[in-house]
Amino acid sequence: MTNRTQRLKDRLFANPREISLERALLYTASHKQTEGEPVMIRRAKATAWVLDHVQISIRDDELIAGNRTIKPRAGIMSPEMDPYWLLKELDQFPTRPQDRFNISEEDKRIYREVLFPYWENRSMKDFINAQMTDEVKAAVSTQIFSVNQTDKGQGHIIIDYPRLLENGLAALVAEMKAVSQRHPQNNFYQAVLILLEASQRHILR
């Protein structure tokens, strides 16, 4: 380990682990503004809103900048996936046996009064539960069977970094604009374009 990376590690572990609500609040704020739009577009716009408004931190000794939160050692919440387990463990985060995170009383209040009421009955968990048959629900209730990934997107993807680094974001944006114009009703292409352009703006910040 170099002196630089040792300093980065020391600074990181000098901070307690804590919860950040910034991303959840930004994502929710966007979602409230896009009622009635296609789900794929809403998610793209919400992620773009986060990239446009999240606080930026570039710390001493960092050669690769970027993080999910300005707090040095924080976890983020994604209530749009499953708000229920977060509510259940809200008071236990600082004291549970594993993966402890500090969370302020004010953030607990915001989660209970702002985030949870909005995402209750709107989350991915609710959508999945509504699709399950009675037979599947009965099997799950035995705790012998389980349905995985009902509270998050796994994110097991392989990004084509060589293509990105060789051509740059501008080339990808131009390509996606052309594809989107040929297929204006395709929500996936529209969502990709929204996110590519948001990534450009975020880098410039």
Domain locations in the chain as residue ranges: 3-153, 160-205
Token reading at 54: 């999240």
Handedness of CA 47, 51, 55, 60 (dihedral sign): positive
Q: What is the pLDDT of residue 145?
A: 82
Across 49-187, where does the E strand assignment appear? 74-76
Give pTM, 2 decimals: 0.91
| 111 and 90 Cβ atoms separated by less than 8 Å | yes
Q: List per-residue pLDDT tens for the chain, 205 residues long.
A: 999 999 999 999 999 999 999 999 999 999 999 999 999 999 999 999 999 999 999 999 999 888 889 998 999 999 999 999 999 999 999 999 999 999 999 999 999 999 999 999 999 999 988 999 999 989 888 988 888 777 776 777 888 999 999 999 999 999 999 999 999 999 999 999 999 999 999 999 8
Token reading at 108: 């607990």
Handedness of CA 41, 43, 46, 48 (dihedral sign): negative
C-alpha to C-alpha distance for 94 and 101, rounded to whole angstroms? 5
CA angle 127, 195, 46 (to 5 degrees): 45
For 20, the enclosing helix (H) or strand (E) is strand 18-20
SS3 1: coil
What does residue 74 show for φ and ψ, rounded to 5 degrees? -130, 155
